[in-house]
Amino acid sequence: MDKIILEIRAGAGGEEAAIFAADLARAYQKFSAKQGWRFVILDYHQSSLNGYKSLVAEIAGEGVYDALKFESGVHRVQRIPATEKAGRVHTSTISVAVLKEVEQTQIQVNPSDLEVTFFRSSGPGGQNVNKVETAVRILHKPSGVVVASQVDRSQSANRDRAMNILRAKLFEFKQEEEQKKMGALRKEQIGSGDRSEKIRTYNFPQDRITDHRIGKKWHNIESIMDGNLEPIVKSFYKENDKVQ
């Protein structure tokens, strides 16, 4: 069974970006349910209108990495925000990272490099759910990477989940550094996979989703955002087969 870490972060666009981050997170969650995958939110920071400034989830199931690995990158949305009174179309961006969980033997982490803190897990609206500090935040001092988990009711379980996130991030960094040393940036089979690369645009007024890497367009955007991602996933499977 595959396991991935899904990380979604709001970018340009303020509150509207956070709302779209929440919309896309729900799309992935509904798609995962249809596939029979387990989707667990590990950590999140909500905005004032119940969007997500950031969200980290673990998805487990057969074929999950192959299905979602091409979601990594910058997603751009063009639509009229619910908060927009003049009816103007706004452009916002969010970033998505899909990281494959790695075994402890694949990446060694020195305990002395870690700064571990505990806090109370929070629910919708930011209220504290637990009366004890069971949530765990880990700073990896050499890299500056900060990860957290607040889904479990025990410190040890949250620490284990946070360490899984940290290992996945450090493993990705290690792979990128190795590729750079070989004289070339890491290239995915389709696109570069760079998180700064704009990979897809969601144009709501024109009911169109465009993937800029493969030049493919899809309509019926509301259905796709309701978790029906199969047309997009299948398109990438076909493109992937072409380069095998």
Is the same domain home to 18 and 36?
A: yes
Lowest mean pLDDT among 70-84, 113-127, 135-149, 173-187: 173-187
**pLDDT in the model for residue 197:** 67
Q: Which domain holds residue 8?
A: 2-103+191-242
- Other beta carbons within 10 angstroms of residue 126's beta carbon come to 9
Kindly report the CA angle at 13 between 11 and 17, in degrees rounded to 5? 65
Q: What is the average per-residue pLDDT within 180-204?
A: 63
Within this chain, do residues 86 and 135 fall inside the same structural domain, yes or no? no
Q: Is 78 helix (H, G, I), strand (E, B) or coil?
A: strand
The reply to whether 56 and 148 lie within a common domain is: no
Phi and psi angles of residue 27, each rounded to the nearest 5 degrees, phi first: -60, -45
Q: What is the pLDDT of residues 3-18, one digit of tens each?
A: 999 999 999 888 999 9
| SS3 letters across 208-229 | EEEECCCCEEECCHHHHHCCCC
Q: Which residue has the higher pLDDT, 182 or 19?
A: 19
Per-residue pLDDT tens for 39-94? 999 999 988 888 999 999 999 999 999 999 999 999 999 998 877 788 889 999 99
Q: Is the pTM of this model over 0.75?
A: yes
Q: Which of 157, 181, 205 is the last residue of a domain?
A: 181
161 — pLDDT class (breaks 50, 70, 90): very high
Confidence at residue 211, expressed as pLDDT on a 0 to 100 scale: 95
Q: Are strands 2-10 and 114-119 parallel, antiparallel or unpaired?
A: unpaired
Q: What is the pLDDT of residue 188?
A: 47
pLDDT at 162 over 90: yes
The closest alpha carbon to 3, from 53, 70, 69, belongs to 69
In a domain, 186, yes or no: no
Co-location of 88 and 118 in the same domain:
no
Least confident of 24-28, 29-33, 156-160, 222-226: 156-160
Residues 225 and 203 in one domain: yes
- Tell me which of 181, 199, 223 is where a domain ends: 181
End residue of a domain, out of 181, 209, 228: 181
The answer as to whether 97 is a domain residue is yes
Same domain, yes or no: 141 and 99? no
> How many separate domains does the chain show?
2
Are 159 and 199 contained in the same domain? no
Same domain, residue pair 48 and 98: yes
**DSSP per-residue string spanning 108-151:** ---GGGEEEEEE--B-GGG-B--SS--EEEEEETTTTEEEEE-S
Written as six digits, the tokens of 139 are 């700073």
